[in-house]
Structure 1
């Protein structure tokens, strides 16, 4: 059909209308235009006067743009280049040919550069292309250190500059440089702009600026104008040096600035109601309260792996997977860089491990115990090793007394704490607490937990250790009992206390501390595999109460969770 219509066009047969654009006649078939454009369909079928006219003058578009649209209508192909993209986009927007609008948008995204980014941002705003508008802003922020030196940057009007600052996309420089660029922009047209800095200061993250860095900024001429507004200046300078992370942490993480990053909950792997065993990784979107897909671990679908964050990179190491109904355990590891959205393999552990503990202490990963060694009849010690990301190597460290799996841990100071677990699937569940001393390379024992626990979680909050979740065997019935208490441990006093109880007991859930709260994700309600949890429950550690319940379409169990800083995404 399409080939036949093209033949009619090529032979100039049966044209029933002429579009007049910029005094150029473009003969067409009405049915062809109506088939791909709501604009023309309404024009020809809704009783408008144009439906009876053979010559129609089309204003607001160029002949170049319209000729390309007509070619698309007959061929379903569009040739977009630097010479015609704006004409084609204007015409496609005018007559509402959506596939061409999308093609122009994709072309502009792929050809963004420092010379055209402002033009593309303005075009996106003109045609209400929200995604393109955000991509252009993201590009300018990602190249701020160079873009802010250009004349185009200095010529941004107030609205454009304010919108860019408030976009909160990641930048390639520290916050001091952002402040300096604001002052430079104001100084470029000081007569008209010096009064605007107060509004722009609202979007400067002063908490991420060091107090000593202000000295350089105070030497700029425009700072005198800033100093004249003592109330404004005092309010902002009081925020200095209150960053939630250290300068050394930023240096190791590869992040220039926390601007544009969000601290969020990460959930990965295990089983889901959407397809069984999975390697998907999700993050908690705070605006909606929903878990959203982030990426996927580049390995076979697995569970019971170690997951942690080092230098703001996400690591998934070890674990087990099924192959022809046989459970296989592996030593391989993978590292995810959220800034580049890329994965890379790391050196494998010296031991295959699943159901082990992976923790961070003083810039290194520590892999402690786990299956299959816990059940292999090995000596009563858990094999341990440490990973150095800079050299990409694992080295053995002192084995931990008491071989085990399904234990957990956390680091505090220069110690790595380990609690609970079990050696045999039907064996006793441990209640002990041990710690590894980084200075002595030795293990020591602390006071036992109030309750034996396996498959539980531990975290640090306000210099105390907390354990939550897990299960143990009832001494009389030998049935599994889900631990309901939330207990805390004071390292200075070497003692435990119960601080709260779970609102709902779950098996195979995760418990992660995030922004002063415990976030409980997934699991089986009451240990019943028929009752999968579809909520994320939140316990406020300061207030000592359950405060929120976020309903999810996703049901997860035997997964892993942690927190990290993710860049703000263009959705």
Structure 2
């Protein structure tokens, strides 16, 4: 019996795509036309169906579109469809910060998961203070968990500059990202008072929200890190702070401050001067230091 070897040629796959691309550019053997906006894109059903779950289902044996000469895609933009078709025919996806939203939208709509993964990697690798809020919203809209987590981390680390220079971007942030950022353990140069003000401004900008959602957002704030006098003032500045849940959290924070102060005074009165200093600094650190920035 003869023995056989199975050998693979990567150049064949490349050549196959190149051949389809050449046929497309010359508009030869195209058997379907896709329309987006007022632009027509002659294509090949076989390549579309083999590259996209959307087209695989669309050109199935029982669909009305399986023999249609023209397929209208009103949900897509010509720019996004052109970029995705180039990818299907070549394997190269052209993206820029300005075209990313429409390219990602098209990739999601046509169920081209390889293109979606490329967009997510592009976002994750290109995060900056200037685009992190936009990318967080885009990632949340398209359920891109890795890009969303990376964007939220960038927002937390860049909060010092964002809260001063790009406050509108923060006010346009999706609520899931805002809550994740408020939970961040590291936020250089930021005090909790500033985050409380940001959360209340966000509610004004995006409200009115259902009571459950506004309570959920404010519950991510650490009221215990705010000085009692400031906490009392803040509690009267916004209607969202007057709900029973938030009032109870504010009360617990104030009670904790007062309890800590009483324990501190009692310990100092009972100990020697040397021990008192140790206890003083121990209690001072426990009740007054903000773990986000080390600021008193």
- When normalised by structure 1's length, the TM-score is 0.37
Match of 1:186 among 193, 196, 200: 200
Q: Which residue of 1 aligns with 2:54?
A: 39
CA contact (8 A) 1:118 1:136 kept: yes
Q: Which residue of 2 aligns with 1:237?
A: 254
Give the CA deviation at 1:43.
1.4
Q: Which residue of 1 aligns with 2:277?
A: none
Q: Which runs of 5+ in 1 are unaligned?
A: 258-571
Give the CA deviation at 1:160.
5.1
Structure with greater helix share of residues: 2
Q: Which residue of 2 aligns with 1:66?
A: 81
Q: Which runs of 4+ in 1 moved over 6 A?
A: 227-230, 241-245
Q: Which residue of 2 aligns with 1:151?
A: 167
Match of 1:99 among 82, 99, 114: 114
CA separation of 1:50/1:186 partners in 2, compared to 1, >3 Å: closer, same or farther?
A: same
Match status 1:122 vs 2:159: no
Structure 1 range deviating more: 35-44 or 93-102: 35-44
Aligned to 1:27, what secondary structure does the other structure show? strand
Aligned to 2:253, what secondary structure does the other structure show? helix
Match status 1:256 vs 2:288: no
Superposition RMSD on alpha carbons, in Å?
A: 3.8
CA contact (8 A) 1:65 1:91 kept: yes
Match of 1:171 among 187, 194, 204: 187
Q: Which residue of 2 aligns with 1:136?
A: 151
Q: Which residue of 2 aligns with 1:79?
A: 94
Give the CA deviation at 1:206.
4.4
Give the CA deviation at 1:169.
5.5
Higher relative contact order, chain-length normalized (CA < 8 Å, sep 6+): 2
Give the CA deviation at 1:44.
1.6
- When normalised by structure 2's length, the TM-score is 0.68
CA separation of 1:126/1:70 partners in 2, compared to 1, >3 Å: closer, same or farther?
A: same
CA–CA distance in structure 1, aligned partners of residues 201 and 72 of structure 2: 49
Give the number of equivalent residue pairs: 246
Give the CA deviation at 1:157.
7.2
CA–CA distance in structure 2, aligned partners of residues 172 and 161 of structure 1: 18
User: 1:200-245 CA distances to partner (integer Å, 9 max, x unpaired)?
Assistant: 44222345x27xx444555669559769986543212234479999
CA contact (8 A) 2:192 2:222 kept: no
Match status 1:203 vs 2:217: no
Aligned to 1:81, what secondary structure does the other structure show? coil
